[in-house]
Structure 1
Amino acid sequence: MDLKTASALRRLRLVSAPEAISFLLLLTCSVLKRTTEFDAVKPMGYIHGFLFVLYVLFWADAWNRAKWPLGRAALYFVLSVLPTGGFFAERKLKGEAESAVIASRARREGVVNA
């Protein structure tokens, strides 16, 4: 993997946790709207929608650059629609991004895998 691939993975990783948090907050706001006078669903919906669109765009870029098999790409997409899935995606992507950076540096320095 090259540095552009590592950057794509990093972008996806950095948006995955905020997207998961916004999803949980949106669910909380929905419950509060129905049980109290508190109504923040609309603004939270806009925030979550924006973060979800970013996630999907970054996911598509990472899939294209990392050349993931269909199963891995589908896993990361499914994690985006689960309320806490973004936290799991963030953890998995951290390892992938670190591996991509290490491989890129090794290739740049001429180190060959044995």
Structure 2
Amino acid sequence: MKRSVLTRYRVMAYVTAVLLLALTVGVIGKRLLHLDGFDGFVTGVGIAHGWLYIVYLVFAFDLGSKAKMPLGRLAWVLLAGTIPTAAFFVERKVTREVEPLVIKAPEPQTASA
């Protein structure tokens, strides 16, 4: 498996997790604390998280299929983007498990004079 498969999964896991945390804070501010000005924030972050979560699903499924993850573990990785802070922990664990499967790029040969 190429390193780029793992890298794009990791990037999307962090982006999705940060947006979900921001959305959670926005919803708490809007619904529980009844603070003004959170309507636009919650709408914008919610839309961004929704669309980017779909990209996360594609990249996570690609990683899971190439790493031959069991179906239960793949389901947990896919759902991690819907639970605040879960994606941070799941990403770290998946990276440790998948890192040995990454094909090392050949080192460039230097010409000797």
TM-score in same-fold range (> 0.5): yes
Q: TM-score, normalised by structure 1?
A: 0.77
Please give the per-residue CA displacement for 1:76-110, whole angstroms capped at 9, x wherever unaligned.
12322211111012211321342122xx239x7xx
Q: Residue 63 and residue 97 in structure 1: after superposition, are their counterparts in 2 closer, same or farther (change >3 A)?
A: closer
Which ranges in structure 2 are unaligned for 5 or more consecutive residues?
Answer: 107-113
Question: Contact 1:13–1:93 at 8 Å: present in 2 too?
Answer: no
Q: 1:25 aligns with which of 22, 39, 52?
A: 22
Instruction: Name the aligned partner's letter for residue 59 of structure 2.
Output: F
Residue 55 of structure 1: CA displacement?
Answer: 0.9
Deviates more, 1:6-15 or 1:24-33: 6-15
1:16/1:87 contact within 8 Å kept:
yes
TM-score when scaled to structure 2?
Answer: 0.77
1:37 aligned residue: 36
User: Between Structure 1 and Structure 2, whose CA radius of gyration is higher?
Assistant: 2
Higher helix share: 1
2:93 corresponding residue in structure 1:
92
Counterpart in the other structure of 1:60? 61
Identity percentage of aligned residues = 34
- Alignment root-mean-square deviation, CA: 2.2
Within 1, Cα distance between the matches of 2:66 and 2:76? 16
Q: Deviations over 1:30-81 (max 9, x none)?
A: 1222311122111111111122111111112112211211122112123222
Is 1:15 matched up with 2:16? no
2:109 corresponds in structure 1 to none
The CA distance in 2 between the partners of 1:13 and 1:98, in whole Å, is: 12
Unpaired runs of 5+ residues, structure 1, are 109-114
How many pairs align?
103
